[in-house]
A and B are shown apart, each in its own frame.
Chain A
Amino acid sequence: MVKKLSLRLAHSLGKRLQADTDDVEVYAYGLEIMLCSLIKLVLLFSLAIILHLVWSTFLVLIAWSAFRVPGGGAHMESYRHCLSTGLIILLVLAALSTLDLSLSWQLTFLILTMILAITCIIRWVPAGTEKKQIIQTANRRKQKRETTVVLLLWFLSVACLITLGYSHTALPLILGAGGGLCLITPSGYRALGWLDQILFQVEGR
């Protein structure tokens, strides 16, 4: 549905700007990405408002995206799957982050996420897919550097928040980062692939 709508809007835009077919395809692609993101954000925050999880959802999403943007990671085969799975994962992480964990547990999660992040950066970043692969060494190094900068900023923020006693803000950032990083690992790819298969079976395809 989003694809059809994007194509229709792109054709209308292309007609007004007298663009060629190739340009219309690019507009449609850009529109599809924007609309898919917008729909997901609106649904995510609507559910977060209903569940009283707005702040923690926002923080989980910030940390999740901060690592996924430079690091890449697993994708699903259809937007419906991406939408449902993404919403569930982000809201579950947001709900878990409201738990009142002791300092030792928070530090344990922080260290484990750090180890996971360092492993991901060294071994898998930028994690591509069948459709998108970063092959050039210079580009791969660039994305590794960007992810390392994100890791340092994230660690400093979380360490400061824990030290200052804002653990209710630190935990969503830790869980969001952990969730995003898990999808950069081969196990994350396998898990999403497996979920894709199950969802296709449920849909009868």
Chain B
Amino acid sequence: MKTKTASTRRRFFWQAGAAALSAPLAASGAHATQRDAEDTEALKARIATLEDVNAIRELHQTYTRLINAGAREEAASLFADPREAQIDASIRNLSADRFGEQDVIEIAADRKTAAARIHCTVELEIAIGPSCTLVEMARVQGEGFLKQSERRVIESSYVKQDGVWKIARSVYR
């Protein structure tokens, strides 16, 4: 997965770290000491950001695994407020680990919130309806659903609670 920035503020944060890391090392004296300190801070900030990105990626993967396992309640527990978890009942499977160039995770400068846009394939089971005898029979047989795959984008926002990233909101576009 690649991390990108979209907002000026986040770009600044992200690029500040990158710029710091890419600064020339040929410096000397007080300037060198000051620059070393700045480099260290920038490096720390970048590592912290990468840790946040990794944490959110793991959170997303956990969410995906739980959805695929049909563990909706457990998936809801990954939300900051599980009552706000609106998980599309028709989704049976999310493709995990198919992250590409277009996927974005943005960490806010204060590292308390984040946002992500992750492309994925969702396998849907859409209940056939309205009900009729055949649909009722199919249900008894464990079927009666229209199965299809769609390319979607999951747009999520995240919030850090007690040092742990939680999903604030997640929408499939």
Partners in one complex: no
Residues of A within 8 A of B (CB): none
Residues of B within 8 A of A (CB): none
